[in-house]
Amino acid sequence: MTAQTDTPGSVTTVYKVSGMSCGHCEGAVSGELSELAGVTSVKAVASTGEVTVVSTAVLDTEAVRSAVDEAGFELVGQA
């Protein structure tokens, strides 16, 4: 697991997502992940397939997978 604590009460996790190819893809993934409870920030980068999520606690992987799937992409795992 590559989750790390940046500041007290804040956890940053980088996920690998396949299928993103443009800004619209980044927005779709970011939008779905932003709706998860505890998420405070999401940054998706299509060129690397990485999505950085900052949250108040470690997120449930299946919840992240479901949100990425809802956006139309596949969660490969954590970077």
Half-sphere exposure of 50 (CA within 13 A, CB side): 8
Rounded to whole angstroms, what are the CA distances from 21 to 18, 24, 65, 72, 76?
9, 8, 18, 12, 15
In 3D, which of 47, 54, 53 has the Cα closest to residue 68?
Answer: 53
Which CATH number does the domain housing residue 55 bear? 3.30.70.100
What pLDDT was estimated at residue 79?
87
Domain containing 54 equals 4-78
Q: pLDDT digits over 11-66, tens only?
A: 999 999 999 999 999 999 999 999 999 999 999 999 999 999 999 999 999 999 99
What pLDDT was estimated at residue 9?
75
Phi and psi at 62, nearest 5°, equal -70, -35
pLDDT at 3 over 90: no
The pTM of this model reads 0.89
Provide the number of structural domains found in the chain.
1
Q: Cα dihedral angle (66, 40, 34, 67), rounded to 10 degrees?
A: -10
